[in-house]
Amino acid sequence: MTRVRLPRRAAAAVELALALPFLMFMFLVAVDFCRVIYFSQVVSTCARNGALYLSDPNGPNQSHYPTLDAAARGDADPSFASQLTVSSTSGTDAVGDYTRVTVSYPFTTLTNYPGIPQTLTVTRTALARPAPAIPKN
């Protein structure tokens, strides 16, 4: 006895209709995750640039950046560079003098995820010690 298969024309459409919301949600999660990684890399680079600017004793005189803020925001995209918050603190520890540069960016997710705030602050800190003006022997 042979069975006759009936065509299932709408099965694929129903499966797509059921799976599409989940697939779109996963796509948005992946996009937001990539955006967080991108902005954290930019903020890290900006903090390092600011620390390098302050660690060179001749940096402020010879750099094409007039201030620490301009040096720290130098690698950021101009569309969001103005939203970066740059601060620095100086101090002395057992090793010697240091300057700590902190850069923050208010990151906003594309969608509202349950249990995750829609606005996150991405903050990175770089510590720099002043380079000697004249090398020691």
Using CA atoms, how far apart are residues 114 and 126, in angstroms rounded to an integer?
A: 32
Q: Looking at residue 135, what DSSP letter applies?
A: -
**Alpha-carbon span 84 to 123, nearest angstrom:** 10
pLDDT, one tens digit per residue, over 8-47 is 778 888 889 999 999 998 998 899 999 999 999 999 999 9
Contact call for residues 54 and 68 (beta carbons, < 8 A): yes
Annotate 26-58 with DSSP letters as a single string.
Answer: HHHHHHHHHHHHHHHHHHHHHHHHHHHHHHSTT
Assign 1 a pLDDT band (cuts: 50, 70, 90). Answer: low
- Confidence band (pLDDT; 50, 70, 90) for 136? low
pLDDT tens digits, one per residue of 112-125 = 878 778 888 999 99
